[in-house]
A and B are shown apart, each in its own frame.
Chain A
Amino acid sequence: MIKELTISVYLDHAASTPTRPEVVAEMLPWLTDHPGNPSGAHAAARAARRAIDDARDHVAALVGCGPGEVVFTSGGTEADNLAVDGVVRATGGVPVCSAAEHPAVLAPVEDAGGMVVPTDAGGCIDLEALAEVLTSVDDVSIVSTMAANNETGVVTDLEAVADLMAQCAPQALLHSDAVQAAAWMDLPSSAHRAELVSLTGHKFGGPKGAGALIVRTGVSLDPVIRGGGQERERRSGTQNVPAIVGLGEAARLVVMEREAMIQRVSALRDRLEEGLIAKTLGVNRTVPKGFVRAPGVSNVCFKGIESEELLFLLERAGIAASSASSCASGAQEPSHVLAAMGIDRVTASGSLRLSLGHASSDADVDHALAAIPPAVEHLRACARSL
């Protein structure tokens, strides 16, 4: 009577990746054997401190910064909040972000009376519009723009943003939410101009509950969470040692394996996307040609269907995917990212995000290519018969 649902094909890595077994193995002793608080003075405390500092080294290597510039947080949202609120608290001024930012950036920017800059058709911050803001507002303190978008995978040229800022608003700091980019992009070269960079472990094989904000030396940033002064007074609270250890191990694996992973997953993503387009009528890539995308994400729009219905049928076929973002109730919300790209609401309601990662395989792509086109055709036939 009750169907036991087994998701066999996981195409939602952009929401969260499976935790890698190597990561779990590194974390486990810190859940079972070591009680120490890293701020303590005895051997157990020192062991915990050493563990998170090893993790700090790995995260620093991932981003290309010094270990002292890594501030551990509970995840990407806290890192984004800390970047915007921390700069505004320390220096005042107007925060600015793109319209396609994650709500973890948009909300603090809007709450601080900041400005939201439109995007281009690919969903990247519009440089002309940004230039206008930076020249007309003289006290912009922070510009926040994503390295890779969570819904579409589109990659922003941070170098160009930094050049523009150097020209028009040298006082402003560049923050980049690299939560989705960390698995795919060489941050030491692509994000080196950003003074602030957000990360979270569970998007690249780490556990949920540990992330980091990179705060380059010399940046003025006031804490949001205050208390015992951990993380060099920038984020109080006892560190989540097991999760931070997991974050560090995941970062280490990304640095080691990224090139091979990019090759493998790009090929899978392209085969999936090209297969869908070949086997289905009325489907378009959401990001126009000519824009660079992170390898793991494919966002497509199917004409004449609603993705809420498609996702239901895909779940029945053992496929976990998503459309836009989910609200607190669990309902799918119309995507603000697609709206920022100028995609109308009806088209956007047929969007599907398939995101691949370290756990994806050829069999996953085969299964998706067998299941998705008939599901789309079924829904279109139902809509036609009304």
Chain B
Amino acid sequence: MSLRRSAGRAVLSSKRAVQQTQRQSLSWLSRWQSSTPDAALASSSTLPTQPSPEPTISTPQSIATTNRSTLANAFSTVNQAEIDHFSRLSSQWWNEKGEFGLLHKMNPTRMEFVRQKIAQGVQDDEGWSFVKRDRVDEQGRLIKWEGEAAKRVRGKWLEGLDVLDVGCGGGLLSESLARVGGNVLGIDASSHNIAIASLHASQDPFLPFQSDSPLVASTSQLTDPAKQEGKAGSLRYRHTSAEELLKEGKQYDVVCSMEVLEHVDSPGEFLKCLADMVKPGGHLILSTISRTPLSQLLTITMAEHVLRLVTPGTHTYSKFIKPSELLAFVRDEMGGTDVWEADGDGLVDGGREGGGVSVGEVRGIVYDPLSGQWRLWKEGLPFGDLCNYMFHIRKKSL
């Protein structure tokens, strides 16, 4: 079973992005891979400057002229060349009508699951009663119950929480997490992904992005009034692995890792690593794909080979993990109910492999082609977890 302990180091490989970038810009990629970022800067300084393809408003804060004065003059032409490359790659991760279109559509639904799970922690039902709640009046109109908790979970519901997004890719989830107020760190083992995510975030003046790279500017340097107002949250990206980050000893209120588990070599080690970075009382939220004939048909046969929505080779069937295996692993290998809250409201099927109280909740996430949207499968209903599913566990408070 792939979930057994293995000595190997779990390595994140955001394969999709890597394959995509290779197709897009192989020569640039090999140069990047063969040198450190600094060396890349030096060697690419001879590249001709390319004009920006889109009309842009020149502001003192724009990327081409960062206010890091020591770098700005020496590398201004280099920056532009690099950014042009980034832009081309970024247009794939962030092309909503392209290869990642389905992922873009999945993102709000994944966020909805995260929101529901975090909202469970908001114990404020003041004003709720059998009378005061959502109801339909005699004219058939829906009257919504607007409790404080209900309001709060629609606004900046991650405000004040440290959030880690492992395998952030182009930053689809990270940006959303930051927008709802989280102090977000997105990490990825692919430096290309981090570069793409950083560039993309830096171009949005409304994101609280803080750059760790000399190549891109922090949007926090901007003095946009709209930006100043909604200052909750922060967004950073780092090129590192979960294992490296764990060594630093920091823990997070929320650890997310979306569509990554099915790509790592040692999912068990990887899961334990993620678990160690969850604060007491914090949440671990995953999304991945089950190993069933249906998932093989949908994610590999249809998506990769027939419809070509995704580059062939993106997924490997044998690496998929069944919800029951995941639940059993958490129960048997990750401390079970000694470490995690027993979750009563989800699909509890960890018992299939060996009995005992299971922890965690599995929710299917299903694409509805008619509405063009992903939907969370109803809690407790069977069959929803045969393909894509979300997983949540909460660590016990100290």
Note whether A and B form a binding pair. Answer: no
Q: B residues touching A (Cβ–Cβ < 8 Å)?
A: none
Q: A residues touching B (Cβ–Cβ < 8 Å)?
A: none
